[in-house]
Structure 1
Amino acid sequence: MFERIVEIYPELLTALGQTFTMIAVAIPLAIAGGTPLGILLYLWGPDGLSPRPKVHKVLDTAVNIARSFPFLILLIAIIPFTRLLVGTTIGTAAVIVPLTINAVPYFARFVEQNLTQLGQGTVEAALAMGAKHRQVISHVLLVDAIPALVGSVTIMTVSFISYSAMAGLVGGGGIGDFAIRYGYYRYETPLMVLAILLMIALVSLVQVSGSRLSRALDKR
């Protein structure tokens, strides 16, 4: 068994690198796209600074639909768009596209919830001092919500590590692809177990690191 692990070690290392690349690209893109979308959901919501019920309802419905779309179906459904964007439908680059599209509304909902839960006291104080809505969002709400947002990023990252493993079903690379090729197609169960253990270790590392960072940033 040890000899076999040594033999496939380069491929295992490549699979880990592919999984890391998927997450390292998709999560920052999701944060960049989901943060302004979540701010708009909060801003135009019933408890927001500029309630717009009709616009909020349309945006809220769109986010709900996007979040409820099963990742594997989304991955297949947007194949033409993925090919147009990155020039291929297989491999790590191709998987990043549906991962990001799925993650943006996912994180947007987290942002909306985190901002809503802060309460109105600080917002009212800032408005009374003459702060504009943009200043309230950037200098008050987002600053206070940083610990919660870090926790949300942690949860999202853990979820999308699992999603990245699904990409192995369509040749997307990563740990999931490694487990399928060796553990399923070649019936090398020990290698599948090894892949599972690596996924558990990766998820645990992200969860522990994210939780510690969130607590360190929480000054309350």
Structure 2
Amino acid sequence: MLLLVALSIVFSPFVVITETPENPHHKPPTPTLNYSTISLSPEHVPYFLNNNKRVAKRCRLDPLCPFKDALQDLSFCWGYEKNCDPEKRFSYPMCTKADSGWARSLDAAQELFWKQADFGYVKERLSELKTLCKATRPGDSSLKCCSHIRFCKATNLYLDLRKPRRSHERYKEDFIQAGEIGGHCKLNKEALVGEGDHKSPLQSW
């Protein structure tokens, strides 16, 4: 009997717990992105991620991403996106009365306000964008503007401001001379001049 007890003790399974000494050179995991640069209100984060698919993808794969909750539904949109569902857009004006002088109904008044003072205005301007200076290779300059050059988006253009021209003239339009602005792209000069019909001196209101 004692032999059986001894054998059972010798051959019984057991677990050895060992502690791995801490590696002084081991670095704790770090986020793949600097999420502190996304300084947004929490309710705005889903809209941001919907418009920045690359950031959303990296956040989804990063266990340290603080915006996991915002990834649950990326159908929210501001309203200017091409595929934005009207029911998912950020906001829509609510009118209680329509002035017959500029809108025939409440629906028309709300739509007009949205297009003139909300993200609908942004949507229309983006739809007007046309390339005025086309890049021919990666890293080149580019210039895109909407109608009447009310809004432009440029990359890698330069302004030479080393010799500013100062005068007492209030509304000066020739502050920048030929050769003081440029880049490396194919300029459609006729289109650029044709869109300048709403040009006026820079003014301070």
What TM-score, normalized by structure 1, do the two folds share? 0.22
Larger Rg: 2
Q: Which has the higher strand share?
A: 2
Q: Which has the higher helix share?
A: 1
Q: Indicate the structure whose relative CO is greater, using CA pairs within 8 Å and at least 6 residues apart.
A: 1
